[in-house]
Every structure is written in structure tokens, then in C-alpha cells.
Amino acid sequence: MSRLRRFNRKVLRGIGSDSDNDEITFLPLDSDEQEELINRFEVRSQSKDNQYIQLLSVAYLICCGLFILLLVRLRRKEDQSTNKRLALFSINSIVSSLIYLRYEIAKNFEFFKYRFQLTTKRINTLNCILLLLITWQVTEEVNMKSMQFLFHIPLLLFVVTFLTRKWIRDLDRELDDLRGLKYKFKNA
């Protein structure tokens, strides 16, 4: 038991400071201090997540605006029906990705006599179908490399959205795990 105490003192000295004095500057936290530290982590994490979501939302809106400008420019030309359709699909895909990034939706609707539930998962399914249609039509019908790249931007934005949401969920799960690791100071 005394070896364990000596080991704990060495570890605590190493964590506490780089000086060579024998004082232990780091002490274990009691339950209230642990909860306060976890709450600070959580608040800082949520504020950073909100900043990143706001930044990505602005980027998505800019991309959507560029596709709207492309659609208006293509509207004047008669032979660009494929590019018009792809621009409309791209706008819808970007808006769906933005909805998935910002909101968790679960809403019931009634349309005539039919009831259905609109969820984020269903919006993602429709977005994936749109992205498949875009990719299929771009590879089949668009010859210019710059236009092919442009019409793959919604796919890139969807991947960014998916990864961002995954990282946010993982961080929330890790904070919950951290709450489960709290210890009582008197028993430690």
C-alpha cells in the first residue's frame, strides 16, 4: 500500500508543476469541482459547435446563392436544360444539407387523408437520392470539367455536414462518459 501512495505522490508532483519542490500543487477535485469542470467543458464545446455551425451555414448559403446565379444565367440559354436541372437539384441538396446541419426535425403532417412524419433521417434519404441523381447525370451528360466539379460541390457539402454532426455527437457522448467517471474525493 505504501508503494501505491509513493507512486501517487510522484504522479501528482509530475502533473502539478515542473519545479523540484516537494509541495503537491495539484489536488484531486471533489464532486462539485468535477461537475463544474465538466460543465465548463460542455459550455465551451457547445459555443464552439455553434460557431462552426454558423460558419458552415454561411458557406452553404453562399454556395446556394452561386447556384441560383448559375440557374438565372442558364435560364437565358435554350440548350442548357440538363445544367438547369442539375442546378435545381444542387440547390435542393444544399438546402437539405443545411437543414440536416442545423436542426433535428421530427414533425407530423397530414396531407388530405394521409398522415406522414417528416424526420431528419427522411430528409437525408431524399438528399442522398438527389446526390445520386446529380452524380449520375453529371458523369453521363456534362462534358466540361469545371461544370463537373461545380455540380459535385453539394456532395462535398453533404459529407462535411455528415462529419460535423458525427463529431458533435461523439463529443457529446464523451462528455457524458466523463460524467460517469466522476469519483468521490473522500473515497479516492
167 has pLDDT over 80: yes
Q: For residue 115, what pLDDT is reported?
A: 81
Residue 27's identity, in one-letter code, is L
The residues, ordered by sequence, that sit 6+ positions from 68 with a Cβ below 8 Å of its Cβ are: 91
Stronger pLDDT, 166 or 26, i.e. the higher one:
166
SS3 letters for 71-94? HHHHHCCCCCHHHHHHHHHHHHHH
Which pLDDT band holds residue 96 (cuts at 50, 70, 90)? Answer: very high
pLDDT tens-place string over residues 150-160: 899 999 999 99
Per-residue pLDDT tens digits for 58-93: 999 999 999 999 888 887 776 678 888 899 999 999
Instruction: Specify the pTM.
Output: 0.72
105-122: pLDDT as tens digits: 777 777 777 887 888 888
pLDDT value for 128 = 94
DSSP structure string for the chain: -HHHHHHHHHHHHHHH-SS--S--------HHHHHHHHHHHHHHHHHHHHHHHHHHHHHHHHHHHHHHHHHHHHHT-SS-HHHHHHHHHHHHHHHHHHHHHH---EEEEEETTEEEEEEHHHHHHHHHHHHHHHHHHHHHH---HHHHHHHTHHHHHHHHHHHHHHHHHHHHHHHHHHHHT---TTT-
Burial of 168 (0-12, 13-18, 19+ CB in 10 A): middle
Number of neighbouring beta carbons within 10 Å of residue 74: 18
> Other C-beta atoms within 10 Å of 77: how many?
10
Please check the confidence at residue 19 and state whether its pLDDT lies above 60. Answer: no
- How far apart are alpha carbons 55 and 48 in whole angstroms? 11
How much is the pLDDT for 5? 64
